[in-house]
Amino acid sequence: MLELHGVTAGYGAFTALWDVGLTVSAGEAVAVVGPNGAGKTTLLRAISGLIAPREGRVTFEGVELAGHPAYDIVAHGVAHVPEGRRLFPQLTVAENLKMGAYLPAARAHYHESLERVYTLFPVLADRRVQRAGSLSGGEQQMLALGRALMSRPKLILLDEPSMGLAPVMVLRLFDLIRRVREEGYTILVVEQNVRQVLKIVDRAYLLEVGRVKMEGRAADLAGQDFVRKAYVGL
Amino acid sequence: MIEPIFLLEAVINGILLGGVLALLALGLNLIFGVIDIVWIAYVDLVALCMYGVYFLVTLYGFPLWLAGIASIGLGALLGLAVHQLIITPILASPPINQLLATGGLLFFIQSFATLLWSTDHRSVRVTLPTIELGGIFISFTRLIAFVLAILAMIALYFFLTRTFTGTAIRAVSQDREAIALMGARPQRLYLVTSAVGGAMAGVAGALLIMQYAVHPYFGGAFGPLTFMICVLGGLGNMVGAFFAAFIMAQVISLGGVLVSTEMGYVIAFVIFIVLIFVRPGGIFARRA
């Protein structure tokens, strides 16, 4: 479904990603793990068009997307839940979800999508008239996820969904991500919470200083001594 | 001592003036709130729309209502032109350059209008009766202008809160990158904002030409006042600008009756200067 070949990207003179290759098949959940500054966020930004890759190809369902602007890439079915959630803090919960359905194709199914999101995250229905900025961290992450679902994507990119959340909320959130997955969405998730994320994905890539160091099935990777010591903390 | 009835009349006139001032301030504040640029020449665009109505009525015999609708279209086109020709090329420049560019537009419009149409004061004479209500005299023209200004602001409110595009306009001012991830083009939203802000200038132009004569320096009379109201309400704060317009209109109107018309403006500006020292973020700013 998604294929990256030789993607190099960065900001100004700084290169954050070197020659990265990665594939995600339809229905799969894939994680990209690695330490701070490994280029995980840059990778997602290069896929969703927030930055243009300097080199390499990004194809989604056979369409070349590298260099396309973000508003065009989301129309192809790639929703990006960015780092720090990036909600519209002054808009209400309902208005944030409405913005998720901005695309004409999504607008046609607006009410139907809204019902689905409210069923998946009932707390958002309770808070629909509240400003997004007034929600708790966990609720904000649910809203960010719900907003992405409103665009009726085929692939969801999740950037550090557990960031800044209380441990008990982290567990709940991963449970919700698993449920989103069961609804049939394909997921590419970037996480520092390696132990938790490896439990909900099929495969994972290990990214270090901008390069893919390792890739494999989640269970195998979790078992690797190297990964266990460095990231899982066992 | 001034009779209470005159004061009441001044208060009512203040409310009527407040409606039109609020409309001007909302148009300017919308553009500032979304694109982060102050169109110094905003009221000069209003003056161009007033000229438009004037010529349509006097030269081409348009009925006033039709010329007013045309004025909305003209305002929207002017808004688009200002954004495309002046703002877009310098969107990434420092704010001071953007301010200077729209300031330059002000001088351009004023000189251009003088060259084309001379410094004559031109007005569309609307002969509508004055209403008398228990000893209070209210100009019917002003009342119509007030009602239409309120209707225009209600329309703007519904546009910004109920439609996808209007909500996206509020969203782009909060997070430009995030709205692109929703599939909206920020550049297009800026264009729509400029057109809507321009259309509001068109409405204001049609309402003002019913009450005032237009001349090349018309912007000099209402421009600083509009800008002051926006600052007082909090730049970009639509609700704040709305209430600030009515407060300032009351000061001007009551000051005009109690002292003199000129003093009304002097008092308004003194209050502005004092308030800006006390509350630099505007009177409705939340304390940080």
The model's pLDDT over B131-160, given as tens digits with 9 standing for 90+, comes to 888 888 888 899 999 999 999 999 999 999
Identify whether B65 is part of a domain: yes
Examine the domain organization and report whether A17 and A68 are in the same domain.
Answer: yes
Identify whether B230 is part of a domain: no
Residue of A nearest to B186 (CA): A71
Contact B278, B28 (CB under 8 A): no
| Tokens, residue A120 | 């998946």
Examine the domain organization and report whether A46 and A102 are in the same domain.
Answer: no
Q: Do A71 and B183 touch (CB under 8 A)?
A: yes
Residue of B nearest to A76 (CA): B183
Interface test with B, best of A51, A71, A129 (most B CBs within 10 A): A71
Task: Compute the nearest-CA separation of A193 from chain B (Å).
Answer: 24
Identify whether B201 is part of a domain: yes
Identify whether B288 is part of a domain: no
pLDDT of residue A158: 95
Give the DSSP letter string of A140-157.
HHHHHHHHHHTT--SEEE
Asked whether residue A20 carries a pLDDT value surpassing 70, the answer given is: yes
Q: Do A87 and B171 touch (CB under 8 A)?
A: no
Identify the domain boundary among A136, A153, A170: A153
Query: What CATH number should be reported for the domain holding residue A51?
Result: 3.40.50.300
DSSP state of A210: T
Give the DSSP letter string of A164-178.
T--HHHHHHHHHHHH
pLDDT of residue A35: 83
Q: Which residues of B touch A102 (CB under 8 A)?
A: 164, 168, 179, 182-184
**Whole domain around residue B97: which residue ranges?**
20-216
CA distance A66 to A51: 9
pLDDT of residue B234: 86
CA distance A229 to B159: 56
CB nearest to A102's CB, from B174, B175, B183: B183
Q: Do A151 and B168 touch (CB under 8 A)?
A: no
Give the closest residue to B72 by CA, choosing from B185, B15, B151, B139: B151
Contact A70, A82 (CB under 8 A): no
Task: Compute the nearest-CA separation of B189 from chain A (Å).
Answer: 12
Residues 222-251 of B with CB under 8 A from A: none
Examine the domain organization and report whether A10 and A26 are in the same domain.
Answer: yes
Q: Which residues are registered as beta bridge partners of A10?
A: A15
Is B286 within 8 Å of chain A by CB? no
Examine the domain organization and report whether A107 and A122 are in the same domain.
Answer: yes
Identify whether A102 is part of a domain: yes
Asked whether residue A233 carries a pLDDT value surpassing 60, the answer given is: no
Residue with tokens 């969801």: A156
Give the closest residue to A40 by CA, choosing from A158, A167, A175: A158
The model's pLDDT over B209-221, given as tens digits with 9 standing for 90+, comes to 999 999 999 998 8
> With bands split at pLDDT 50, 70 and 90, how would you rate the model's confidence at A214?
confident
Identify whether A173 is part of a domain: no
**Whole domain around residue A233: which residue ranges?**
1-74+155-160+186-234
Integer angstrom CA distances of residue A110 from A117, B84, B92, B164: 11, 32, 35, 11
Element (H, E) at B272: helix B261-278
Contact B268, B260 (CB under 8 A): no
pLDDT of residue A130: 96
Examine the domain organization and report whether A67 and A83 are in the same domain.
Answer: no
Examine the domain organization and report whether A41 and A94 are in the same domain.
Answer: no
Identify whether B266 is part of a domain: no
Identify whether B130 is part of a domain: yes
Identify whether A168 is part of a domain: no
Identify whether A234 is part of a domain: yes
Q: What is the pTM of this model?
A: 0.90
Contact A82, A158 (CB under 8 A): no
CB nearest to A86's CB, from B164, B175, B185: B175
Interface test with A, best of B34, B162, B170, B182 (most A CBs within 10 A): B182
Q: Which residues of A touch B169 (CB under 8 A)?
A: none
Is B178 within 8 Å of chain A by CB? yes
Phi, psi of A14 (to 5 degrees): -90, 130
Identify whether A231 is part of a domain: yes
Identify whether B10 is part of a domain: no
pLDDT of residue A232: 52
Asked whether residue B101 carries a pLDDT value surpassing 70, the answer given is: yes
Q: Which residues are registered as beta bridge partners of A159?
A: A190
Integer angstrom CA distances of residue B31 from A139, B19, B128, B224: 32, 19, 34, 16
Count of CB atoms situated within 10 Å of the CB of A54? 14
Residue of B nearest to A90 (CA): B174
Identify whether A101 is part of a domain: yes
Is A232 within 8 Å of chain B by CB? no
Give the closest residue to B270 by CA, choosing from B233, B228, B230: B228
Identify the domain boundary among A153, A175, A201: A153
The model's pLDDT over B155-188, given as tens digits with 9 standing for 90+, comes to 999 999 999 999 999 999 999 999 999 999 999 9
Asked whether residue B38 carries a pLDDT value surpassing 60, the answer given is: yes
Exposure of A70 by Cβ count < 10 A (0-12 exposed, 13-18 middle, 19+ buried)?
buried
Beta strands in A12-107 (DSSP E): 14-24, 29-33, 55-60, 63-64, 78-81
pLDDT of residue A99: 96
Asked whether residue B193 carries a pLDDT value surpassing 80, the answer given is: yes
Asked whether residue B287 carries a pLDDT value surpassing 60, the answer given is: no
Is A214 within 8 Å of chain B by CB? no
The distance in angstroms from the start CA to the end CA of chain B is 44
Beta strands in B17-140 (DSSP E): 130-133, 136-139
Q: Do B178 and A98 touch (CB under 8 A)?
A: no
Examine the domain organization and report whether A43 and A108 are in the same domain.
Answer: no
Q: How many domains does chain B have?
A: 1
DSSP state of A132: G
Contact B30, B232 (CB under 8 A): no
pLDDT of residue A234: 44
> With bands split at pLDDT 50, 70 and 90, how would you rate the model's confidence at B288?
very low
Q: What percent of chain A has a predicted confidence (pLDDT) above 90?
A: 67
The strand order across the sheet containing A211-217 reads A78-81, A155-159, A186-191, A29-33, A203-208, A211-217
Identify whether B4 is part of a domain: no
Q: Which residues of B touch A89 (CB under 8 A)?
A: 174
Contact A187, A180 (CB under 8 A): yes
Examine the domain organization and report whether A144 and A108 are in the same domain.
Answer: yes
pLDDT of residue B259: 84
Asked whether residue A169 carries a pLDDT value surpassing 70, the answer given is: yes
